[in-house]
Amino acid sequence: MRIGVGYDVHSLVEDRKLIIGGVDIPFEKGLLGHSDADVLVHAIMDSILGALGCGDIGKHFPDTDARYRNISSLILLERVHDIMRERGYRVGNVDTTVIAQRPKLAPYIEEMKENIGKVLGTEDVNIKATTTEQLGFEGRGEGMAAYSVCILLSNG
């Protein structure tokens, strides 16, 4: 068994879609990034890569590479999943938290879980959302953050 922790953060800006967990969420702002800036999926990828001892998403998908410009983070998650399988592991479970003052994410969590679980080949994906009671950059609506912990199990 291997355990990994991931963290990601992105700024909220105008004229961008808000994509979290592969879900296009109606909101007046979106997350800024080279890819679709899906803060939740990025944290999950980093937790898996961390559990494998394979660095982070910046190493595998650098923002200097035009191939990843505006790419869906679910496609990148598929590639991380392939790396995991090639190394002989499968997901035991993933537990995540998204930190955002607005919008309310509860109505979208089941769809997020379905999207991520489909890519990872598991139903053991837990997603939570919380606010910061208007404290910090998340509370001021300047950005969003996400944490992820995963357990990988050996296939051998």
Nearest partner of 145 among 28, 8, 48, 44, judged by Cα: 8
Tell me what the pLDDT averaged over the chain comes to.
96
Burial class (CB in 10 A: 0-12, 13-18, 19+), 142: middle
Tokens 């955002």 -> residue: 100
Please tell me the distance from the alpha carbon of residue 112 to that of residue 2, in angstroms, as a whole number. 24
Domain of residue 56, CATH code: 3.30.1330.50
Residue count (the chain)? 156
Burial class (CB in 10 A: 0-12, 13-18, 19+), 102: middle
Please tell me the distance from the alpha carbon of residue 155 to that of residue 75, in angstroms, as a whole number. 23
Specify the pLDDT at position 108. 98
Question: Per-residue pLDDT for 118 more than 80?
Answer: yes
Please tell me the distance from the alpha carbon of residue 81 to that of residue 67, in angstroms, as a whole number. 19
65: containing domain: 2-154
Question: Per-residue pLDDT for 156 more than 90?
Answer: no
List pLDDT tens digits, range 37-49: 999 999 999 999 9
The total number of structural domains in the chain stands at 1
Q: What pTM value is reported for the model? A: 0.96
